[in-house]
Amino acid sequence: MESAMVATSLPLPPASDLAALAVSFLNERFQSKEDLSRTASLVSELDTQCVDLDRQLIELNSRLGASLVAYSSFSDGIHGRIGAIIAKLDELGSLTGDSDPKSDGRGKKILGEELPALAKEVARVETVRAYAETTLKLDSLIGDVEEAVSSTFSKTLRKQSSAQASEALNLLQEAGRQAIQTLGKIEDAVTEVTKARPQWTHLVSAVDHRVDRALAILRPQAIADHRALLSSLGWPPPLSALSSSGPDASKPSSAPNPLFTMQGDLKLQYCENFLSLCRLQKLQSRRKSRQLEGEYREIALRQPLWAIEELVNPISLASERHFSKWTDRPEFIFALVYKITRDYVDSLVELLQPLVDEANLVGYSCREEWIGSMISSLCTYLAKEIFPIYVSQLEEESISGVKSQARTLWLHLVDLMMSFDKRIKSLVANSGISFSLIEERNLQKLSSLSVFCDRPDWLELWAGIELNDTLDKLKTETEGERIWTKKVQGAVLMSGSEDYRSPAISDCYLRSLSSVIDRCRSLPLVSFRSKFLRLVGAPTIQKFLDCLLLRCQEAEGLTALTDGAALIKVANCVNASRYFESVLKEWCEDIFFIEMGSEQSDEPGGSFLEEPGRGILDQEIKKVEEFRTGWTEKISVVVLRGFDALARDYMKNRRQWQEKGEEGWSVSKSFVGALDHLQVKMSIIQESLNRIDFVCVWRNLADGMDRTLFVGVLLGNMKFHNSGVKRFSHDMEVLFGVFGSWCLRPEGFFPKISEGLKLLRMDEKQLKDSLAGGREALKEHGIRQLSVAEAEKIAKNRVFAS
């Protein structure tokens, strides 16, 4: 009691002798007389804090003492080793300075064996010293971080008044900044160790383990502080003004941005907090960059901006309350997300982009991060709430067999997503960045269709719905005969002026395929574009080929292509396939298709393409080409078969080559029917078939006739007199004249007949000399396509007048 009385009777020191911090503390605690009643609790609280600080000081002193003892012991060991090394060097100097011949052997041994061992020992001691110094340095730095984290955590758990909380928040932010700076020094040291001493893996691993434990506390605490600060600023802003204006409102909302209106210390506090979070993310990125190796390193390093995510998350939670009312009107959902994204993007970029640049977060754009995070939240909601409903409806439809609106709703939702992505592109373009310059991984986060990249099974489901819808529309458009008779207007490709005379059905399928490709372009990843095009585009092309094949088979089955109408039907199908193939080839020259063709599938056991580097539609183009060439050859075969049947009597008549020609006839009577058949059929084909494939038809026909007449007449054991040679020459000139309408030298397309006639027209001596000289002599006389045996057989049947 006496001591208490003495303590209370002690005079107070003058206010001028007190420190400014103490005066501020007393003024804050004792603002009225009522505050004097809480003196005892204040003294108790101060005593507790003093005890905590004393305990921490004792712990730090003990750790410092232990570190000094360890360093002293280690230093003594190193000094001992250095002393031994110096003694050996002195011994080496005395030996090398001695010129006694007896010491030469000892000197050579020292120089050859002991000196390298000594150098190795010196290097090892230096390595040990460097290891010890690095370990002590890192241990000290990590200790500072752990102390700061522990102090921050203990202050966070302690209950405090509002005034104390404000002061504690400032202290926590300062401690966090110091901890992040220290962590940066640790990372610098570890990076240097990794490059200079890659064998010190255990040291690096131990440091990373302790840093990970510190970050496991520091990052959640930093994010919690950031959230608390945002909440005190009034973020997120109320969405009532946005949603009440309607989803179609095109003007920005007048609702103020709380971040843009903050002033003074509050703005400074938020900027410091934002910077700390960005620096912490920069530090984490540096650590991951050092730790990760391999081809997926860049993908793993690219993370959304944490501070922007903290702005988006509360807005997303508030928006979902509105979304739940619009599950049957998804257009409202997209409209609200776009409006929020647009209304705040410019103000956020103006405020936060300088802070991101100051934190040295390379490659981050606040505009892209804000838009990307908003789209990510939208995709998350669609994947959790909207698409599962549609998927379940489709499953019920497949089980019950009763058609529902699920497919229509799915396609409508995809249309909304594509329209939304187009508006987002224009929003990104306002920053002056072209979408073509944005990397693929960034494109994914700027597209709502990235929901399909996370769920490939939904992509396949969408492709199936899209394919059925496309085929249903084509079935309606291609009904009736008019689609086969009406020609495509302007069916001329940009690469040339060729008119393909294609029926309108090819244009219908090309328009549908173009629509599929346009929808495929909206997907953000090349691999998924490739997959979608293979799932929808390839079956559409196959359906087109099936339609052409069915029509050709119907024409062939009715008349075996012997009448003109059947030939015209097949020619139209060939024209359609030629035009379709040409358009596909032009499309595949675009960089869009080249990228898909070079993209390899990551699925195990195969790829979308059979060979790397091939075009995405090469297989389909090959099928179209095979169809066209097959039926083009069939047209030639049909005409050749008719010609052969009508020329059979002409080729079997042996006596005509020994007689003079009929009076008043420039061509053999038995050959007239075959020539007439040829002219009629070729006239129909020329009128209905495109020019490119018509050239293939008459060339194939010429080749077939050349073989047929050569074997049937020249190699048919016919005896040719002079009159017969003239007669055969006149017949062939007429035949060449038919083909002369399509080329300048038709005889060049009948090589065997032309050279056979050349042999028949030779005189007896020239013919014998040509055969006697063998192959070389035949070549000298212009006979290159016939073999020696064929030439001898023709010469054997030549009869010269005696």
User: Are 209 and 141 within 8 A, CB to CB?
Assistant: no
User: Are 285 and 365 within 8 A, CB to CB?
Assistant: no
Phi then psi dihedrals of residue 720, to 5 deg: -100, 115
User: Are 599 and 517 within 8 A, CB to CB?
Assistant: no
Distance separating alpha carbons of residues 151 and 159, to the nearest angstrom: 14
User: Does one domain contain both 368 and 432?
Assistant: yes
User: Does one domain contain both 120 and 184?
Assistant: yes
- Contacts of residue 280, defined as CB under 8 A and 6 or more positions apart, other chains included, come to 180, 218, 219, 222, 306
User: Are 505 and 487 within 8 A, CB to CB?
Assistant: no
- The candidate with the shortest Cα–Cα distance to 642, out of 684, 677, 680, is 677
User: Does one domain contain both 472 and 413?
Assistant: no
199-220 exposure pattern, b = at least 16 Cβ within 10 A, e = fewer: ebeebbeebbebbeebbebbbe
Phi then psi dihedrals of residue 360, to 5 deg: 65, 35
- The candidate with the shortest Cα–Cα distance to 506, out of 552, 547, 565, 537, is 547
User: Are 361 and 278 within 8 A, CB to CB?
Assistant: yes
For residue 597, which amino acid is it? G
Query: What CATH number has the domain bearing residue 656?
Result: 1.10.357
- Contacts of residue 672, defined as CB under 8 A and 6 or more positions apart, other chains included, come to none
In a domain, 576, yes or no: yes
488-527 exposure pattern, b = at least 16 Cβ within 10 A, e = fewer: beebeeeeeeebbbbbbbbbbbbebbeebbebbebbbbbb
Distance separating alpha carbons of residues 7 and 119, to the nearest angstrom: 71
Distance separating alpha carbons of residues 374 and 340, to the nearest angstrom: 9
H helix intervals, 98-197 = 104-109, 115-157, 162-196
User: Does one domain contain both 315 and 394?
Assistant: yes
For residue 645, which amino acid is it? A
Token pair recorded at residue 294 = 């391999």
User: Does one domain contain both 98 and 219?
Assistant: yes
Residue 600 DSSP symbol:
P
Domain span including residue 426: 240-450
User: Does one domain contain both 317 and 428?
Assistant: yes
pLDDT of 653: 87
pLDDT of 682: 94
pLDDT of 641: 94
In a domain, 531, yes or no: yes
User: Could you give the number of structural domains in the chain?
Assistant: 4
pLDDT of 474: 94
In a domain, 642, yes or no: no
33-42 exposure pattern, b = at least 16 Cβ within 10 A, e = fewer: eeeeeeeeee
DSSP string covering 15-39: GGGS-HHHHHHHHHH-SSGGGGGGH
Distance separating alpha carbons of residues 247 and 327, to the nearest angstrom: 14
Q: Report how far apart, in Å, the C-alpha atoms of 4 and of each of 1, 7, 26, 374, 765 are.
A: 5, 5, 22, 65, 155
In a domain, 139, yes or no: yes
Residue 103 DSSP symbol:
G
Q: What number of residues does the chain have?
A: 802
State the SS3 of 569-582.
HHHHHHHHHHHHHH
Distance separating alpha carbons of residues 486 and 505, to the nearest angstrom: 9
User: Does one domain contain both 220 and 249?
Assistant: no
User: Does one domain contain both 192 and 322?
Assistant: no
pLDDT of 165: 46
- The candidate with the shortest Cα–Cα distance to 107, out of 119, 122, 97, is 97
In a domain, 394, yes or no: yes
Distance separating alpha carbons of residues 397 and 406, to the nearest angstrom: 8
* Nearest-10 Cα torsion for 341, 343, 344, 349: 90
Phi then psi dihedrals of residue 503, to 5 deg: -70, 165
Q: Is 713 helix (H, G, I), strand (E, B) or coil?
A: helix
User: Are 477 and 483 within 8 A, CB to CB?
Assistant: yes
In a domain, 40, yes or no: no
Distance separating alpha carbons of residues 455 and 457, to the nearest angstrom: 5
Phi then psi dihedrals of residue 157, to 5 deg: -75, -25
Q: Is 503 helix (H, G, I), strand (E, B) or coil?
A: strand
User: Does one domain contain both 213 and 194?
Assistant: yes
User: Does one domain contain both 597 and 732?
Assistant: no
pLDDT of 42: 76
User: Does one domain contain both 385 and 524?
Assistant: no
Token pair recorded at residue 661 = 């020609």
> Of 403, 432, 450, which one is at a domain's C-terminal end?
450
Whether the bond between 236 and the residue before it is cis, its omega within 30 degrees of 0, is yes
Residue 114 DSSP symbol:
I
User: Are 504 and 483 within 8 A, CB to CB?
Assistant: yes
DSSP string covering 44-93: HHHHHHHHHHHHHHHHHHHHHHHHHHHHHHHHHHHHHHHHHHHHHHHHHH
Token pair recorded at residue 714 = 């020249």
In a domain, 29, yes or no: no
In a domain, 801, yes or no: no
> Of 196, 231, 266, which one is at a domain's C-terminal end?
231
Where do we find the tokens 């002798």?
17
Q: How far is CA 385 from the centre of its chain?
A: 27
Distance separating alpha carbons of residues 5 and 10, to the nearest angstrom: 9
User: Are 184 and 283 within 8 A, CB to CB?
Assistant: yes
> Of 197, 231, 265, which one is at a domain's C-terminal end?
231
pLDDT of 418: 95
User: Does one domain contain both 438 and 480?
Assistant: no
Distance separating alpha carbons of residues 300 and 318, to the nearest angstrom: 30
| Burial class (CB within 10 angstroms; exposed 0-12, middle 13-18, buried 19+) of 69 | exposed
User: Are 621 and 628 within 8 A, CB to CB?
Assistant: no
pLDDT of 799: 86
Give the largest Cα separation in the chain, rounded. 169
10-residue mean pLDDT profile of the chain (802 residues): values are 43 66 70 73 79 79 75 71 69 56 53 67 80 88 84 53 50 74 90 88 90 89 88 83 49 67 84 91 88 59 85 92 90 94 90 91 88 94 94 88 84 95 86 58 83 93 95 91 80 55 92 94 90 94 95 87 89 95 92 79 42 73 95 94 93 84 73 93 94 95 94 89 90 93 92 92 86 84 88 88 64
